[in-house]
A and B are shown apart, each in its own frame.
Chain A
Amino acid sequence: MSLQASTSQTVGPYFHIGLSRLYVNDLASPGVSGQRVEIEGRLLDADGQGVPDGMIEIWQANAHGKYAHPEDQQDKPVEPGFQGYGRTPTAEDGSFHFKTIKPGRVPGPDGKLQAPHIDVSVFTRGLLRRLVTRIYFPDDEANSGDSVLNLVDPSRRHTLIAKKSAERDGVIEWNVVLQGSDETVFFDC
């Protein structure tokens, strides 16, 4: 039996009504182990204007590189209180932020470990389908060998790698540029 996946439609401007119940941008309660990190970014359109009616969702492993999901059969500990899922609307200026922990490494398509990363879905009025991208971490030596990063044209890889904040420790900056010369890499997922 072969069916076809339902067609995607935009979230439109009013998703807050239905989706705000699950807003969570602080993923790691105090007991959860791992290196704390704050992600700050903006969702920007083709003119560099902040997108005020967007929504960002993230999905990540815990500090041991284990997903809170039955299909992750790795012999690694789960962290009670860490689901690894976040959802936040963008603010008037397109900004968003998450507080989380840096995920551990998980297996990649070639059996090698991937560099630490967070999977991201972007939704907004004007997007008929979600956009999928990833956040990688600054100065992580595993980035150079990451099999997914290496699928990306070297001139565009930087759009997936967050930058250290010049002012604040533990803060990384990562913007989503929907369109333009420095457009973020989006994946066919």
Chain B
Amino acid sequence: MANLSGYRRPYPGTQPNHLHPPYVSSIKRAPSKPLVYLPHTLSEVTGPVFDASSIDVKACDLTRQHSGEPLGERIIVSGRVLDENGRPVPHTLVEVWQANAAGRYRHKVDQHHAPLDPNFTGCGHTLTDANGHYRFVSIRPGCYPWRNHYNAWRPAHIHFSLFGPAFATRLVTQMFFPGDPLLPFDPIFNCTADEKARNRLISTFDWETTMPEHALGFKFDIILSGRLSTPWEK
């Protein structure tokens, strides 16, 4: 147990700093003192396990949660969850939430005067398969205004939450859409110094998963922290 293998730490610049003043909400919520390096112990290399019994198999289709179909452009979002060593992360929980096609969240705090859609809640979840693949059917979320600065608009995005195999691999992120003209102006998207790293949050349009007469496909792979060395390599 003493030679337990931990998970990798982020490469410099590939993760946001906690304090990012252009994102105004970070100013009073970001810690000001340096983080203390935590060696990964059994507590950090383990984490909650969710199996098929805790999943609603229908929850991967956000367009079929109500009696009618939601308004908007149907999309299929799929990809793989891999670790930094390129290995698939199988049977891991992926949770998503998003605004509707008009850019409105079904949430009491969202008072944007765009219509709610009675046929769209905007939440879903699924488990990756044995090869790390996941797939959601949804509608393309709209852009929406927020009050970070004058005339601030969020680019269209879908929120993703993942656990991976361990406490150390927990990740909450957002997926964006290619060609969104708001991306260069969004302080949240631009919080990461490394340009390549932030661009990996932009999904790619994908013919292979586009369904004729039905929905456009977008690919979005997610990478979780990888083991420094895996037990079977020792």
Contacts and interface: CB of A to CB of B under 8 A. Distances in A.
Given A59-B167, A179-B29, A188-B9, A5 B84 contact: yes
A106 interface: yes
B178 to A, nearest CB: 16
Interface in A120-145: 121, 123-132
Contact of B172 (A1, A74, A123): A123
A16 interface: yes
B134 interface: no
Given A14-B105, A17-B106, A186 B28 contact: no
A178 B30 contact: yes
A47 interface: yes
Nearest to B24: A126
A11 interface: yes
Contact of B200 (A6, A127, A131): A6
A179 B105 contact: no
Contacts of B124: 18
A18 B159 contact: yes
Contacts of A2: 84-86
Contacts of B18: 127-129, 131
Contacts of B29: 45-46, 51, 124-127, 178-179
B41 A17 contact: no
A83 B106 CA distance: 30
Contacts of B197: 4, 7
Contacts of B121: 17
A93 interface: no
A150 B20 CA distance: 30
Contacts of B166: 71
Interface in B6-61: 8-11, 14-18, 20, 23, 25-33, 35-49
A180 B32 contact: yes
Contacts of B40: 109, 189
Contacts of B106: 17
Interface of B: 1-2, 4, 8-11, 14-18, 20, 23, 25-33, 35-49, 82-86, 95-99, 105-107, 109-110, 121-125, 159, 161, 165-168, 170-174, 188-189, 191-192, 197-198, 200-201, 222-226
24 contacts: A3-B223, A4-B84, A4-B223, A5-B15, A9-B173, A10-B23, A19-B97, A46-B29, A61-B43, A69-B46, A69-B49, A72-B46, A74-B1, A107-B42, A109-B40, A127-B30, A128-B17, A128-B18, A128-B23, A128-B26, A179-B29, A179-B31, A187-B35, A188-B38
